Structure 1
Amino acid sequence: MTIENAVRVIAGSIVLLSVVLTLTVHSQFVWLTVFVGVNLIQSAFTGICPAAFFLKKFGLRHA
């Protein structure tokens, strides 16, 4: 799996988890979704993605 695909899987999983937690636990979990969305937007403009940094440390590589 490439870093780009892994970042998408992680972001999508966190968004889905956030939605479930928002609906079942507490409405403030919606901020987790906001955080993921803002991080995706800033990484598109800056090219800096914290998740990609950690995935590189774990040994994943670009395609």
Structure 2
Amino acid sequence: MNLDRAVMIFAGGMTLLSAVLVALVSPWWLLLTAFVGLNQIQSSLTGFCPAAMVLRKAGLQSGCAFEPREAAPVGR
């Protein structure tokens, strides 16, 4: 498993967990759903993902989404 898949599994798991908590405990758990969604948006725009940092330190290898970007070739 690579880092990209682990991050997606983590985000999906947190979303499903919050849905269960909304149904069984309180609608306030929708704040967790909102947090996960906002974090996914900011991660896609900035490339900064706290979950990816933690999982990378745990030893997972990067996939293509979390590799450093190289500058695009100029003047092809």
Q: TM-score, normalised by structure 1?
A: 0.97
For 2:26 and 2:62, how far apart are their aligned partners in 1? 37
For 1:55 and 1:46, how far apart are their aligned partners in 2? 18
Correspondence for 1:7: 7
> How many Å apart are 1:12 and its aligned residue?
0.2
Q: TM-score, normalised by structure 2?
A: 0.81
> How many Å apart are 1:62 and its aligned residue?
1.2
How many matched pairs? 63
Work out the percentage of aligned pairs sharing the same amino acid.
Answer: 48
Q: Computing the radius of gyration over CA atoms, which structure comes out larger, 1 or 2? A: 2
Q: Which amino acid aligns with 1:35?
A: F
Q: Which amino acid aligns with 1:27?
A: P
For 1:2 and 1:45, how far apart are their aligned partners in 2? 21
For 1:46 and 1:62, how far apart are their aligned partners in 2? 17
Correspondence for 1:39: 39
Post-superposition, which runs of at least 4 consecutive aligned residues in structure 1 deviate over 2 A?
none
